[in-house]
Structure 1
């Protein structure tokens, strides 16, 4: 189980260190409906992560069984393909970074956060975590690692729980912290938002580059 946890940890961090959902959570916490929309967003974020990793773990579990000491070529090839896709996303993110003092464009839906309902918050959280292309690749990678890891059902559950907690932590911590002490965290959250907006593309490019290289290395090791 330890080796599988080691494989999914970088992928969980890749989902966790995603500036856009963190910015969205901060904007919700600073909106008139902070409590309802932020909790809805967190709920959808958790559901999206869980559904993605469980679905791909189930798919990976039907791959042909291998000897535990033998290579796993199918899982290896999948990991290499995912790694290459992550590298391509890294290049795209790096090219989209703002130059000089230019203000980077933000998704249009962010302008509607002040009027967002809790239900829409759930839907947005689910879409950003489970169906976002970058996060989906991370979910596929984690699912393949878990499903092909020859673990027991209980061990699969433990790994999925660990993966979900880490992946959701950067959204869960500010939401829970703000609802517990809103007056103290309003200023720091706004400062964090101002830093994340211009540095979003650069942070994601570096993150995707590192995880893509790691994924390719894991895939080569499985072949």
Structure 2
């Protein structure tokens, strides 16, 4: 997969509570171990879903596509309608939008909890499941090896690791800047959600008309 394809998919994977959690963990008490555990957990779930989707796609696909062309068009149209509704609803409730309450506990998180969080956020969050399945089935439909997903996985993990890497590289300056970024994302979580939705709208439109 080309970098131009991988980048927007990786952005979709981390936009929202995923990158926000990475920032929280990078400013936690055990930030090195927590951040490493979080990224490792994410790597396990992303890789697992991509591989499963790839092999299911390889076994089920017919004529180079997991679904018939007509079925794919109907599905993409339904997804587009749903995304437009979700975007409208997110904007309508923007003044009451708040991050999940469990994020307040991340400052005192343990590496074990961080590992589970990384696995679940990147493996159970609906947008991440859809994206990982899309990568796996795309590769299967195009008869590409599953190892071609390594770039997608690597870029996603790099984005998740950026907060902790910035602390490692910049020290006190990053420790000062990251809480401000975290607070901004807390206060504007609806904007982050809208950005993710718009990315999916773009991908869906590309599937319909590309």
TM-score by length of structure 1 reads: 0.78
* Cα drift, residue 118 of structure 1: 0.4
Equivalences, count: 208
8 A contact 1:41–1:121 mirrored in 2: yes
**2:9: which partner in 1?**
11
* Cα drift, residue 144 of structure 1: 2.3
Equivalent residue in structure 2 for 1:32, among 29, 37, 56: 29
* Cα drift, residue 82 of structure 1: 4.6
**1:186: which partner in 2?**
175
Distance 2:169 2:202 in 1: 39
Equivalent residue in structure 2 for 1:200, among 186, 189, 194: 189
Q: 1:30 to 1:122 in 2, by over 3 A?
A: same
Q: CA RMSD in A?
A: 2.7
Q: 1:77 to 1:149 in 2, by over 3 A?
A: farther
Q: 5+ unaligned residues in a row in structure 2: which ranges?
A: none
**2:207: which partner in 1?**
218
* Cα drift, residue 24 of structure 1: 1.5
TM-score by length of structure 2 reads: 0.82
Distance 2:4 2:34 in 1: 34
**2:131: which partner in 1?**
138
Q: 1:8 to 1:77 in 2, by over 3 A?
A: farther
Q: Which moved more, 1:76-85 or 1:44-53?
A: 76-85
